[in-house]
A and B are shown apart, each in its own frame.
Chain A
Amino acid sequence: MSLPTLLEQYDYATGIWDEMCDRQQIREQYSKVIATLKQFNVSDLQQKDRLAGELFMNQGITFTVYSEDAGIERIFPFDIIPRIITGQEWDHIEAGIKQRLKALNLFLKDIYNEQQILKDNIVPASLIASCPHYTREVFGIKVPHDVYVHISGIDLIRGEDGLFYVLEDNLRTPSGVSYMLENREVTKRIFPELLAASHVRRVSNYPLMLHEILLQMGPGQLSNPLVVLLTPGIYNSAYYEHTFLARQMGIPLVEGRDLVVNNHKVYMKTTNGLEQVHVIYRRIDDEFLDPLMFRPDSALGIPGLMSAYRMGNVAIVNAVGNGVADDKAVYAYVPAMIRYYLNEEPILPNVPTYELSDPDARQYVFDNYTQMVIKRTNQSGGYGMVMGNKVAPEEWTRAKAAIEAEPRSFIAQPIIKLSTVPCFIDGTFQARHVDLRPYALCGPQGVQIVPGGLTRVALRKDSLIVNSSQGGGSKDTWVID
């Protein structure tokens, strides 16, 4: 079958924003790409699809899915058709994320020091006190340049109205940036002429920008601080990304057992003895960092690390305790934070959020649960999520009981139909839902964002869940001028 016919058969639902088509018209930003695609036939695209799969497999770009205690290695499914965002749309997104991160950084500084925002009753103190990620152990610790969120991956979605909304803030150890970079590398192989003709903004300088920021976090008097990337090890689901970033930045990739703390300083165990470490870009969660301070059973961490951190002898990136700012219940207050700290109106809106600890809101959600998605405030990766329109009655009864038992651990949001884009699946073009995770870097000079980010796509028909652990894939994301 020829591609033009396939494109005519492209079927997208009404009432959902489709990024390629608008009332049978192809939007301008997609027109050039589609015109080029029409020169290929289906078997060309299938060939490209296979090639892309092989490229990922041979490079070992795989992640591990955990279910029933067994980890399985898979490649992260990749769809060959790029997702396109116009330069104008992007500039809006960029401004919104910069504003949001500025406010969140100020919030973290405030909440671990003076706590003005609580005293002024903008955020209820009870909300922070009940947040499991509020880390009392780091209260009063001064971090270099007052930067807490060096690396963030804020999830955006596009609603029925075509506007971008912030779905959640990932401020701890967001992953996926290597896929953003590798997707572009694969696209360079499979659609070279298309990429060159489309004026796509560049993403490949991300590792260098990150390296720059990491170096700036070192002690000022050192010209060449030792920066390391701390990984949980080869069994971690994002291990590929850790090796990728370490290699791209040229910094050592270390595990907890490679480091030791002596006299409040952190050292690396080398073949010629100990060498002092100044900056740790960690990809380990807070609770595993230091068995003396957090979970005593952690074998991944370094005993005594937090004491070195408190003495200012080592910088940890991202800062410890950031979880309080990306808690899904605290999320509802981010617009208020922007108004409070910056005296500005939020550029990117939030999705309406109901805190289930509020009895009225809880009742409202219970009455309308079929239009709601219920999330745990402290879970990520799509685990522990209840989609109200798909849930079976007995499952709902169970979920309801869990909510009533600890309402603070849940929030509800109206189900938003994410926008759709065309995907090349089984030799046809099909509409699938996507979100967007731009990666922002924050250093002493402010926030920088590489144009684009990771587009995650729900590969199952009609599914709204884009997480890689739940059957999601990804696409290359083009910001074109």
Chain B
Amino acid sequence: MLSRIADSLFWLARYMERAEGLLRVTATHNLLSLDKDVNGPLTWRPVLETFTSTGEEEIKAIEGNTGAALKKLLTDTANNNSLKSIIGKARENARGIQDYITKEVWEEVNSFYHLINQPALDNRLSNYEAADILDLFTRHSVLYTGITDITMARGIGWGFMNLGKYIERCLETIVLTDKQYAVNQYKVDEIKDIMQWRHLLMSLSGYELHLKTYRSYQYTHDVLHQVLFNEDFPHSVIYSLGRIDRHLQDVTKGHISEENAALIRNFGRLYSKVKHLEIDDLNNQTLKPFLAELRHDLLHFTNLLSQKFFSYA
């Protein structure tokens, strides 16, 4: 497979996964913002801080204004990480590999792009249609995932797409978890109200699973278990790493080289850090550095991966 195509597949999948994450967080926040929070009115600050590089002054100006925050997150082209920019970049990548991806995948990405570029969108976001629009976008995002799964050929290209997808998902889970625990100064042993955790769990679509699986009232501890170690939770860190492991094998299969071996070793070290960890090892002091190190290691691995496979220009 052409290195350029592998590169574009990787980034197409990453951007589409990023869009999905952004949409889920935004939709959750939008719904919860209608209720009054225990700590006063709900602010868009954490979402803006996570997904945009907006300056402090601007955040102050728009954190209480749902319409403005939604515009910033979804349609502002000056924001490199708005949904519009992300989908634009995903489409750009898909355009360059139209001969490789299926017609169906291309048409879905393309129609998503045209949908978000409708001129009337900004107005509709400031009205009470925001929830409907977020639903519609989320459906497109899910549709993309389904179409990709059904129509794309398996093999090495599929491997690169999934590497992109699960690296992005894993990073997203780490970042959102870190954000949520920072609110409590990383205190793992404190028992908190489940309502505090609803936001994180719903953003990762794990709220129902949590209610079904965990029966104690140690929410802070349980949620941490779920997002890091629960193998059945498709947004958990361990699940994403397991997928990365599998697809890394797919793309290196049959080509024995020192470079490939080094890449596999590097990932193995990172994977076992999570796999062989006891949850009780994470306490008020170690949680923050652990999350930071995990993120750093994953980014480093991603760099190695692109050096190995995507160098062509």
Q: A residues within 8 Å of B by Cβ?
A: 57-60, 229, 233-234, 239, 242-243, 246-247, 251-255, 257-258, 268-272
Q: Check A252 against B3 for contact (C-beta < 8 Å).
A: no
CA of A128 to CA of B282 in the docked complex: distance in angstroms?
81
B109 nearest in chain A by CB position: A60
Query: Which of B3, B92, B111, B114 contacts A269, CB < 8 Å?
Result: B3
Which A residues are CB-close (under 8 A) to B255? 272
Known: A247-B99, A253-B99. A271 touches B114 (CB 8 A): no
Does B103 interact with chain A (Cβ within 8 Å)?
Answer: yes
- Where chain B touches its partner, the secondary structure class is helix
CA of A257 to CA of B156 in the docked complex: distance in angstroms?
21
B156 nearest in chain A by CB position: A271
Q: B residues within 8 Å of A by Cβ?
A: 1-6, 92, 95-100, 103, 106-107, 110-111, 114, 156, 160, 251, 255, 309, 312-313
Q: Check B96 against A258 for contact (C-beta < 8 Å).
A: no
Query: Which of A57, A243, A268, A269 contacts B98, CB < 8 Å?
Result: A243
B255 nearest in chain A by CB position: A272
Which A residues are CB-close (under 8 A) to B251? 271
Q: Check A234 against B2 for contact (C-beta < 8 Å).
A: no
Known: A57-B114, A234-B92, A253-B99. A258 touches B107 (CB 8 A): no
Which A residues are CB-close (under 8 A) to B4? 254-255, 257-258, 269
CA of A247 to CA of B95 in the docked complex: distance in angstroms?
13
Among B1, B4, B100, chain A packs the most CB atoms within 10 A around the CB of B4
CA of A322 to CA of B307 in the docked complex: distance in angstroms?
41
B254 nearest in chain A by CB position: A272
Other CB < 8 Å A-B pairs besides A57-B114, A60-B107, A257-B312, 20 of them?
Answer: A60-B98, A60-B106, A233-B96, A234-B95, A239-B95, A247-B103, A252-B2, A253-B97, A255-B4, A257-B313, A258-B2, A269-B3, A269-B4, A270-B1, A271-B2, A271-B3, A271-B6, A271-B156, A271-B160, A272-B1
Which B residues are CB-close (under 8 A) to A234? 92, 95-96
B114 nearest in chain A by CB position: A57
Q: Determine how close the nearest CB of chain B comes to the CB of A247; give it in whole angstroms.
A: 5
Known: A59-B107, A271-B309. A247 touches B3 (CB 8 A): no
CA of A258 to CA of B96 in the docked complex: distance in angstroms?
12
CA of A254 to CA of B4 in the docked complex: distance in angstroms?
9
26 A–B contacts from the bound complex (CB under 8 Å): A57-B114, A58-B107, A59-B106, A59-B110, A229-B99, A234-B92, A234-B95, A239-B95, A242-B99, A246-B99, A247-B103, A252-B2, A252-B99, A254-B2, A257-B4, A258-B3, A258-B4, A258-B312, A268-B2, A269-B2, A271-B1, A271-B2, A271-B3, A271-B6, A271-B309, A272-B255
Among A59, A233, A258, A271, chain B packs the most CB atoms within 10 A around the CB of A271
Known: A258-B2, A258-B3. A247 touches B98 (CB 8 A): yes
B4 nearest in chain A by CB position: A258
Q: Determine how close the nearest CB of chain A comes to the CB of B254; give it in whole angstroms.
A: 8
B102 nearest in chain A by CB position: A247
Q: Determine how close the nearest CB of chain B comes to the CB of A295; give it in whole angstroms.
A: 20
B313 nearest in chain A by CB position: A257
A253 nearest in chain B by CB position: B99
CA of A247 to CA of B160 in the docked complex: distance in angstroms?
20
Which B residues are CB-close (under 8 A) to A233? 96
Q: Determine how close the nearest CB of chain B comes to the CB of A242; give it in whole angstroms.
A: 8
CA of A269 to CA of B313 in the docked complex: distance in angstroms?
10
Q: Determine how close the nearest CB of chain B comes to the CB of A156; give it in whole angstroms.
A: 31
CA of A58 to CA of B112 in the docked complex: distance in angstroms?
10
Among A58, A243, A251, chain B packs the most CB atoms within 10 A around the CB of A243
Which B residues are CB-close (under 8 A) to A242? 99
Q: Determine how close the nearest CB of chain A comes to the CB of B184; give it in whole angstroms.
A: 44
Known: A58-B110, A269-B312, A272-B255. A253 touches B3 (CB 8 A): no
Which B residues are CB-close (under 8 A) to A257? 4, 312-313
Which A residues are CB-close (under 8 A) to B92? 234
B157 nearest in chain A by CB position: A271
CA of A59 to CA of B111 in the docked complex: distance in angstroms?
8
Which A residues are CB-close (under 8 A) to B95? 60, 234, 239, 243
CA of A58 to CA of B313 in the docked complex: distance in angstroms?
31
A249 nearest in chain B by CB position: B99
CA of A251 to CA of B2 in the docked complex: distance in angstroms?
12
